[in-house]
Amino acid sequence: DTEVTQTPKHLVMGMTNKKSLKCEQHMGHRAMYWYKQKAKKPPELMFVYSYEKLSINESVPSRFSPECPNSSLLNLHLHALQPEDSALYLCASSQERGKETQYFGPGTRLLVL
């Protein structure tokens, strides 16, 4: 089973709202990732968590706040977003230490008004 689930599938929010994206996997993977994909562009990495600790932040603005409450869950908290943050947000997970194939969820399509 290589399933990563993401909720919600779609999200519309205003620039003053606070919302959260959720990602879950039950494959025992210890690395989890957030990617952002703008329309007609390839995915770009935002954050990496390894063993529930933030290991990579690709200079993402502070209005995006990741959280990894346990090894199966990854959240992305959103606050004061801009319309240009509208995108598909993808979560992925992988094992660590030599078995690094990343498996992606279906994504959350975010629209910021």
Partner 1 sequence: DAKTTQPPSMDCAEGRAANLPCNHSTISGNEYVYWYRQIHSQGPQYIIHGLKNNETNEMASLIITEDRKSSTLILPHATLRDTAVYYCIVKPVTGTASKLTFGTGTRLQVTL
Binding site for partner 1 (CB under 8 A): 2, 4, 6, 31, 33, 42-45, 48-50, 55-56, 58, 88, 90, 92, 94, 96-98, 100-107, 109
Which of residues 16 and 99 has its CB atom nearest to partner 1 in the complex? 99
Q: How far is CA 103 from the centre of its chain?
A: 12
Residue 55 Cβ vs partner 1, minimum distance, rounded to whole Å = 6
Of residues 36, 9, 22, 25, the one with CA closest to residue 93: 25
Spatial distance between the Cα atoms of 3 and 66, rounded to a whole number of angstroms: 21
Taking the least distance from each CB to partner 1, the nearer of 16 and 70 is 70
Nearer to partner 1, 9 or 16 (CB): 9
CA distances from 85 to 13, 36, 78, 99, 105 (A): 11, 9, 10, 32, 19
Min dist. Cβ of residue 97 to partner 1 (A): 5
CB of 18 to partner 1, least distance (A): 25
Pair of tokens at residue 49: 């968590």
Tokens 């957030």, located at residue: 34
Nearest distance in Å: CB 101, partner 1: 6
